[in-house]
Amino acid sequence: MNGVPRHVAIIMDGNGRWAVGRGRPRLAGHRAGARTLERVLDWCGEAGIEILTVYAFSTENWTRPKSEVAGLMKLLGAFLRDKRGKLLREHVRFRVIGRREDLAPSLVRSIEALESETASFSRQLVVALSYGGRAEIVAAARKFAKLDVQTEESFASCLYAPDLPDPDLVIRTSGEFRISNFLLWQCAYSEFYVTDVLWPDFDRIEFDRALASYARRDRRMGGVK
């Protein structure tokens, strides 16, 4: 039996379908998804999970309709404003991984302010924003090329957040069995849990099921027992 995962990463999928199924605009689904994220952060704290990484916006998501992209960016800005107090009170370190150069300067300023205010906390919420696993690997490769010592460890030290341990468990909602360019390097030995539940409907029962499923996995990391 494994214990509680130290690092859980989530592909929060299904916001659009949740909204369309209710005859509502897709952004209503993203707003409901942001509320789910807040609940999941609480459950992670209660379960003793140290790091939660969520896929909020991929490098490919820029191709969505302008209004959806603008709405998502606004939602992220509001999340930073509204949750600042909670993160400080609950000692949660906030970090963003991804291509910051794609983001509006005002959003980057808010991100960096919250990152520095929370930098000393050990529990972490990591938001992947304008994030792509391939883009991260290409950026890392550029740095790696200049290193004298070229090993797997020194390559990992060139990633966006090199101090983070690899995710133990990756959860994907809404039933799709794919990785969608998320943490490609870091997921090499992660356990996966896929549920049909759409992200806005992801509840405590489903969260506990994911942890119970992880606990039963036989993690050999390529070795034998």
Closest distance between ligand FPP and the C-beta of residue 218, in Å? 31
Residue closest to 173 by CA, chosen among 4, 2, 14: 14
| Contacts of ligand FPP in 137-176 (CB under 6 A) | 174
Closest distance between ligand FPP and the C-beta of residue 155, in Å? 28
Enter the tokens of residue 140.
């890392």
Nearest CB to ligand FPP, comparing residues 19 and 169: 19
* Site for ligand FPP contains 59 (CB under 6 A): no
For 130, the 3-state DSSP assignment is strand
Q: Active-site residue among 61, 102, 181, 201?
A: 61
- Name the segment binding ligand FPP (CB under 6 A); options: 10-18, 102-110, 139-147, 189-197: 10-18
Nearest CB to ligand FPP, comparing residues 14 and 133: 14
218 among known catalytic residues:
no
Q: In the bound complex, which residue of the shown chain has the CB atom lying closest to ligand FPP?
A: 16
| Contacts of ligand FPP in 21-40 (CB under 6 A) | 30, 33-34, 37
For 200, the 3-state DSSP assignment is helix
152 vs 131: CA distance, rounded Å: 21
Enter the tokens of residue 17.
């379908």
| Contacts of ligand FPP in 175-214 (CB under 6 A) | 199
Q: Are 70 and 26 in contact (CB under 8 A)?
A: no
* Site for ligand FPP contains 103 (CB under 6 A): no
- Name the segment binding ligand FPP (CB under 6 A); options: 73-81, 86-94, 99-107, 130-138: 73-81
DSSP string, 47-114: HT--EEEEEEEEGGGGGS-HHHHHHHHHHHHHHHHHHHHHHHHTTEEEEEES-GGGS-HHHHHHHHHH
What secondary structure letter does DSSP report for 186? Answer: T
Active-site amino acid positions: 13, 61
Interface positions with ligand FPP (CB under 6 A): 12-17, 30, 33-34, 37, 56, 61, 75-76, 79, 127, 174, 199
